[in-house]
Structure 1
Amino acid sequence: MGSANNCWAHERAYPDGYELIRGKYLGHIHMKDVFVDTPKATLENRNLGEGNLADQLWPLAKALKEDGYDGVISYESVYRPEGGIFEEGFQAAIGRFKAIFG
């Protein structure tokens, strides 16, 4: 399962996407956040919790915990602040990632 990839197709990772795979084999989830503007055909990497997934991250984490998910959840570090470097994007997001999924 890859979060944010679904945003381009206007599928909500939670609950819609998760419900499709709930109870089936799931062993690795990679998290990132984006903002998709379909009319402009653009996708912008955003800090975790500041894109299209902002309202879905905590409920998804809660559902995974309640369902006993014991696989890997990794942070896909693709966010870079404007004028910054990827390391700064990683540092801006990793604390939030740990708070939600840790």
Structure 2
Amino acid sequence: PKDDMPGCTKQACGIRDAWDEFEKRGAVVLGVSPDSEGSRAKFRDKHGLPFTLLADEDHSAAQAYGVWVEKSMLGKTYMGVERSTFVIDADGNFAKVMRRVKPDTHADDVLAALP
């Protein structure tokens, strides 16, 4: 996942478009990627995102959550972020872990996992 790539844009804008429902449920949404703080700010402003975007440039959060993984494309392997969502309850426990999420249905999938 990377700012302004088609999948990330769909995923983020889907949450933006469903923002009223996220607020009604008391959800705190954080979008984390290895992009720089400057890139995150531009992406947020360009798409009018109402939630916080965090920069994980050293991949420490991705590594801690187990989503900094080996990937491959066109026969080359590289390290990257596995598109994932973690729903964390009020007690700090994982209520739902979603791996390889689908950007097109992501907002609805997350809302379905919220109380």
TM-score scaled by structure 2? 0.31
TM-score scaled by structure 1? 0.34
Greater Rg, structure 1 or structure 2? 2
Which structure carries more strand by proportion?
2
